[in-house]
Amino acid sequence: MANVLVIAEVKEGKLKKVTLELLSKGQELASKAGGALEAVVLGSGVEALAGEMAQYGAAKVYVADDAALAAFNGEAYANVLVKLIEASKPGIVLVGASINGKDLAPRISAKIGAGLASDCTDLDVADGKLVVKRPIFAGKAFSKITFKSDIQIASVRPNVNPLAAPNAGASPVVEKIDAAAGDVKAKILETHKSAAGKIELTEAEIIVSGGRGMKGPENYKLIEDMAAVLGAAVGASRAAVDAGWRPHGDQVGQTGKTVNPNLYVACGISGAIQHLAGMSSSKCIVAINKDAEAPIFKVADYGIVGDLFTVVPLMTDELKKLLA
């Protein structure tokens, strides 16, 4: 009997979608492992989120509520979570493979001596133990991983697990836990938000990306316009980032972000192997390139050979009409 513990992630007072995805998947894993699905949320004023977690199957929600936990701090959060995990002894711990999730997971792994697989895209239980699949070489291959430790931790990619139907009638069982963060050495001095409401690339369902073919930073307006119509995030190739047209955080590829949206629109991107590594698991790829020989067309579901400065605005208009 092994319980599954989902570590919730809160953004601007709301649960992130990946948390609901993990609860949805967690129900299945818990029943295969013969245990219960539990969740934990840390923050300030977060108890109200327990209701939604119960609707997605959490039999119990641990709440660590403290003003000191209002902003994510990997050290502080890990201290609180390690105490909970040592006391409640789940068999499986799931956390979203976000920037914060990937900061947190190894801290917990080291403190409790538990195996950790990062960025998992497939999870199952066999003979009571967790078995996962995860991309290596930025998605050029996948490895299947089993665990030797009693507690097994996986950080899980957003957008790979479908949401279960919420049970509107479920009411939460809340257990308040010790929220004392203990001795925290890293102090956050300043926080800078580059753009409010910006969609994180690794979690985006649609991405519009521009490469060297954009010719200059000013032309990204074309990409942003299409992204706005689609509710999409904006990405870039390394050539565009190296030219200083876009911030580092926008880079998609082997040394940038690995993304898996439903739709990836590549504009003026040739499709170098390092770029493809980061985006070829997208469900649908559209390529816009004036060179019919560009390798991006080999992975595109729909390719448009043409000048992006004509094609992109036309497409934005067409999408606008469609989605109006």
Partner 1 sequence: MNIIVLVKQVPDTETRIKLKAGSTDIDREGINMVLNPYDEFAVEEAIKIKEAGGGSVVIITAGEAKAEEAVRTALAMGADRAIRLDGAEFAGADSYSTAKALAKAISAEQYDLILCGKQAVDDDSVQVGTLVAAMLGIPSVNMVTKLEVAGGSMKASREIEGGHEVVEVPTPCVITAQKGLNEPRYPSLPGIMKAKKKELKAVALGALGLSADEVGAAGAKSAVVELSLPPERKAGQVFEGEAAEIVPKVVKLLRDEAKVV
By CB under 6 A, what part of segment 276-305 binds ligand FAD? 278, 288-291, 294
The CA-atom distances, in angstroms, between 295 and each of 134, 250, 269 are 25, 21, 9
* Single residue of 162, 191, 216, 244 touching partner 1 by CB under 8 A: 191
Return the H-helix or E-strand segment holding 220. helix 220-230
239 makes contact with ligand FAD (CB under 6 A): yes
Q: How many CA atoms lie within 13 A of 249 on its CB side?
A: 10
Mask of contacts with partner 1, 45-84, x by CB under 8 A? ---------------------------x-xx---------
Asked if residue 99 binds partner 1 (CB under 8 A), the reply is: yes
Residue 298 CB, shortest distance to ligand FAD, in Å, is 12
Angstrom distances, CA of residue 55 to CA of 8, 44, 167, 183, 324: 14, 21, 5, 35, 32
Tell me which of 16, 25, 134, 238 binds ligand FAD, using CB under 6 A: 238
Kind and range of the H or E run holding 242: helix 238-242
Site string for ligand FAD, 188-227 (x = CB under 6 A): -----------------------xxx--------------
Residue 132 forms beta bridges with which residues? 123, 145
Which amino acid is located at 157 in the chain?
A: R
The answer to the question of residue 251 lying near ligand FAD (CB under 6 A) is: yes
- Tell how strand 122-126 and strand 129-136 pair up: antiparallel
Of 263, 266, 267, 279, which one interacts with partner 1 (CB under 8 A)? 263
The two tokens of residue 15 are: 């649960």
Stretch of 25-33, 84-92, 167-175, 310-318 contacting partner 1, by CB under 8 A: 310-318
270 binds, among partner 1, ligand FAD, none (CB under 5 to 8 A by kind): ligand FAD
Q: Which is nearer to partner 1, 137 or 171 (CB)?
A: 137
Indicate which of partner 1, ligand FAD, none lies near residue 212 (CB less than 5 to 8 Å, by partner kind): ligand FAD
Task: Say how far apart CA 127 and CA 171 lie, in whole Å.
Answer: 31
Q: What are phi and psi of 131, to 5 degrees?
A: -130, 130
Give residues 141-170 in contact with partner 1 (rule: CB under 8 A).
Answer: 141-149, 152
Q: Which residue has the tokens 């299945």?
A: 28
